[in-house]
Amino acid sequence: MFCTNCGKESEGKFCWNCGTPLHVSAPNAVPAASAEAPVPTDWQNDVDYEKLIHTPAVRDLLARQKPEQARMTGEEFVGSFEKIIKSPVALVPAMTIMRDIYGRMGIHTGKTREEKYPQPVGRVIVSALCGIAKSGYKVQDVRQASDGCMLICEIPSDMFSLSGQLFITIRRELEGTSVQADTHIEGQLYDWGKSKRALDNLFAEIAEAK
């Protein structure tokens, strides 16, 4: 090898000409800096829900989402009347029973919306999760597919409607990502704009994501 200081060819640990230490690299050795460097992950193009929510950058992003101010649920709203009026029937259990009966009769309400975005699929999934967190919804189930996933969320009850579900299907396209969202609320014919507000908030959150 050649000395890095004087350029003389030398062997051993030191240069015979100037005494500069000689650095010998072991065969196939990996530089320390390269061995310790983190491997970047392109989570914005990933469709795997489990991988996404365990990615540190995604977890930090979701942790910063602040849900809307707590609102009175439908059960709490109805229950407040029991403190004022005397009813021979408990109102909250009766509301639950009526919802089940009307649901079996096919009475329900809901809305559907579909949009396409230029953002990669992983970015859209995470943006949807941010919207879910801000709205105070809970993810009940996730159905994974090779080109995307479906998020099944609970929509809490409030003074406008009974509790329901929000289905969000996110798929990778040749260019960008498609999102279809459906709300389903059993037991009533009208939700007084609740489904529309839920979809407006969700799609606005996705559209604003960089």
38: left (phi over 0), alpha (psi -120 to 50) or beta: beta
19: left (phi over 0), alpha (psi -120 to 50) or beta: left
Q: CB count, 10 Å around CB of 171?
A: 18
Burial (CB < 10 A; 0-12, 13-18, 19+), residue 136, is: middle
Q: What are phi and psi of 88, to 5 degrees?
A: -70, -15
Each residue's pLDDT, cut to its tens digit, for the chain (210 residues) gives 556 556 556 666 656 555 556 655 444 544 443 444 343 458 999 999 999 999 999 998 888 887 765 565 544 444 444 444 455 544 445 555 555 655 566 666 889 999 999 999 999 999 999 999 888 888 999 999 999 999 999 988 877 777 889 999 999 999 999 999 999 988 787 788 889 999 999 999 999 875
Q: In DSSP terms, which residues pair with 171 in a beta bridge?
A: 148, 178
Predicted TM-score (pTM) of this structure: 0.66
> What per-residue confidence (pLDDT) applies to 43?
92
* Joined tokens for residue 208: 């604003």
